[in-house]
Structure 1
Amino acid sequence: MKYKIQLILSMIIFGTIGLVVRHIELSSSELALLSSAIGCLFLICVFLSAKKRFHWDMLKNNFILLFFSGVALGGNWIFLYASYQYTTVTNSTLAYYFAPVIVIFCSPILLHEKLSIKKGICIFISLLGLVMVVGNGMSNMAYSDFIGIVLGLIAAIFYASLMLINKFIHNMDKLELTIIQLAIVAILLFFYVFFKNGLSFFSISASSIPFIAILGIVNTGIGFWLFFSGMEKLSGQSIAMLSYVDPLVAVAISGIVLCEQMTTIQVIGGILLLGSTFISEVRLDEFHS
């Protein structure tokens, strides 16, 4: 039960990212830089306090994969944060949670995993749900909302890429892996942001500072710490099942705290998208594990 509570808490923390980002007056690349840098420093402290050591030989052997996984993680955050700036947290979340569907679709080709009839049907239903969310957005929502959904889908592609790349990285502690990926994101984005915006990047408004600290320490650092602590003793199916606390929290915050609304068609589409992906990843016997 302890590990399930830790994983659920991490999902609740991840689900509040959209709310926190809304209060920070920075571009999506600047947000990604700060969250990765602060989160990386926090996790290094956790890693060292646990008296763990970096396995430099494994880092060297997996360098290329680690580099591209860092690029994927950075792209994931940049486009997700940008999506929050264009549309509602609900729209961004629903588009972003198309990532597991992309992984399922690509697994037979890249991972040589068999695509079952059940998962094939779930992919079709997920696509139908996505069409309902995006299609309704095109006809009844502002152009900015449609752009936000597209950005959320691009973020989903990067996140799916990250999950697939991580499948090929072996013999590395998950916390150690995340620290390296965050470090790569921070280094790459530092040079990108510095050369793009110069020293103006450091002129952050006072009102944004507390939320930047929350994004880096809580949403990234503590969130990942609880996530890896919780998943240590849980099965993959249990992790997949509990991960849906994240979008549910995000959607609840969108409706209750931010008072963002969805049309009936979008609600149905969202249920189809999240529900079919959930069903594709869990088995009934996992509820008793």
Structure 2
Amino acid sequence: MTCVVLMTKKKIPWNLVKSNFICLIFSGIALAGNWIFLYGSYQYTTVTNATLAYYFAPVIVMICSPIMLHEHLSVKKILCIFTAVIGMVMIVGTGLSAFGKQDLLGIFLGVIAAVFYASLMLVNKFIHDMDKLELTMIQLGTAAVLLFFYVFFTEGLAFLSVSKSALPFIALLGIVNTGIGFWLFFSGMQKLSGQSIAVLSYVDPLVAILISGVVLQERMTVVQVLGGILLLGSTFTSEVKSLHKPHKNIIA
């Protein structure tokens, strides 16, 4: 991400960083917490369960928006929240009976990751006048520092003994998935309508679920499938509802 900023010759507006300092710190903490609990979720449950739990974040934003952002909660949004909660209950309940307590822990960690992600979206609403690319670089940098200390205090220097065979994959995740991925995302946002962005954001969970079933051969019950449809469908419906207004959310 730093290389992208240098290539585009963007300068960090330190005066804006100073005025938004507290929110930037909280957003970095939220991003780091999001990653910690999401990857922790992957260790205990399937990619599908973790992804669906993670995408409970928009529901949390809808619930908190009237309090934090003073936004009106319409009847349609209330119905979407209710439907999403039913979907999550179906996923959690079936996961516990079909797979066991370990999967329940993974889903729980996924929901905590969703809380951090929702916090990131809400905090970003209070950050003003900053370019999306610069904001993302600062948030990623803050999260990287926090994650370094987290790994150091939880694992010690064990992370230095990562096998050589894993290094290319780590580099791939860092450079392609994070750096180039965010760059393409924000570049595309500037040329797409709000409706297109909202629709394309749901490619992420659908691809994750598809890979989980086809490539990883992970199991998913019929009830969980229905719960996932209710969860993703309700949050998507809520997004479509808000497309008539300018999209100001910055998701990093």
Q: Of 174, 190, 197, which aligns to 1:232?
A: 190
Residue 284 of structure 1 deviates from its aligned partner by: 11
Q: Structure 1's 196 and 127: CA in aligned 2 closer, same or farther, altered over 3 A?
A: closer
Q: Secondary structure at the match of 1:114?
A: coil
Alignment correspondent of 2:226 = 268
Alignment correspondent of 1:101 = 59
**How many pairs were matched up?**
244
Alignment correspondent of 1:252 = 210
Retained in 2: the 8 A contact 1:237–1:283? no
TM-score by length of 2: 0.93
Q: Structure 1's 80 and 117: CA in aligned 2 closer, same or farther, altered over 3 A?
A: same
Residue 206 of structure 1 deviates from its aligned partner by: 2.1
CA–CA distance in structure 1, aligned partners of residues 242 and 15 of structure 2: 41
Amino-acid identity (%): 70
Is the counterpart of residue 62 in structure 1 residue 20 in structure 2?
Answer: yes
Residue 51 of structure 1 deviates from its aligned partner by: 1.2
Alignment correspondent of 1:114 = 72
CA–CA distance in structure 2, aligned partners of residues 284 and 151 of structure 1: 29
Q: Secondary structure at the match of 2:156?
A: helix
Residue 242 of structure 1 deviates from its aligned partner by: 1.3
- Greater RCO structure (CA 8 Å; 6+ sep): 1
Runs of at least 5 residues in structure 2 that lack an aligned partner in the other structure: 245-252
Structure 2 letter corresponding to 1:87: T
Q: Structure 1's 83 and 285: CA in aligned 2 closer, same or farther, altered over 3 A?
A: closer
Runs of at least 5 residues in structure 1 that lack an aligned partner in the other structure: 1-42
Is the counterpart of residue 50 in structure 1 residue 35 in structure 2?
Answer: no
Q: Structure 1's 48 and 132: CA in aligned 2 closer, same or farther, altered over 3 A?
A: same
Residue 62 of structure 1 deviates from its aligned partner by: 0.7
CA–CA distance in structure 1, aligned partners of residues 70 and 185 of structure 2: 27
CA–CA distance in structure 1, aligned partners of residues 163 and 129 of structure 2: 43
Alignment correspondent of 2:174 = 216
TM-score by length of 1: 0.81
Retained in 1: the 8 A contact 2:194–2:243? no
CA–CA distance in structure 1, aligned partners of residues 241 and 85 of structure 2: 21
Alignment correspondent of 1:278 = 236
CA–CA distance in structure 2, aligned partners of residues 107 and 235 of structure 1: 23
Q: Structure 1's 57 and 284: CA in aligned 2 closer, same or farther, altered over 3 A?
A: closer
CA–CA distance in structure 1, aligned partners of residues 81 and 216 of structure 2: 30
